[in-house]
Amino acid sequence: MMIMDRIALILVVIGALNWGSIGLFQFDFVARICGGPATLLSRIIYTVVALAGIWCISLIFRARESFSHAAED
């Protein structure tokens, strides 16, 4: 697994935990740490997490390819 894959997965997990805390407790960790949901730093963090999620979409297809290669062997 590439280092970029690991970083993306870590960011996606952080984002998922943040969304879970919003859904369950109405508490946004990123907004709290950065001074609000509309601050530049919060928006940068939200954008980086979203880009990590997009990167992780490629992991789904790469995993599918590796399974099909293993089945052929």
Are 67 and 19 in contact by the 8 Å Cβ rule? The answer is no
Confidence (pTM): 0.80
Are 48 and 11 in contact by the 8 Å Cβ rule? The answer is yes
pLDDT band at 72 (very low <50, low <70, confident <90, very high): low
Using alpha carbons only, what angle is made at residue 18 by residues 15 and 20, rounded to the nearest 5 degrees?
Answer: 110
Task: Render pLDDT for 5-64 as a digit per residue (tens, 0 to 9).
Answer: 999 999 999 999 999 999 999 999 999 999 999 999 999 999 999 999 999 999 988 866
Within 8 A by CB and 6+ apart from 71, the residues are: none
What's the pLDDT at 65?
67
Give the C-alpha separation, 9 to 1, whole Å.
11
What's the pLDDT at 67?
59
pLDDT band at 71 (very low <50, low <70, confident <90, very high): low
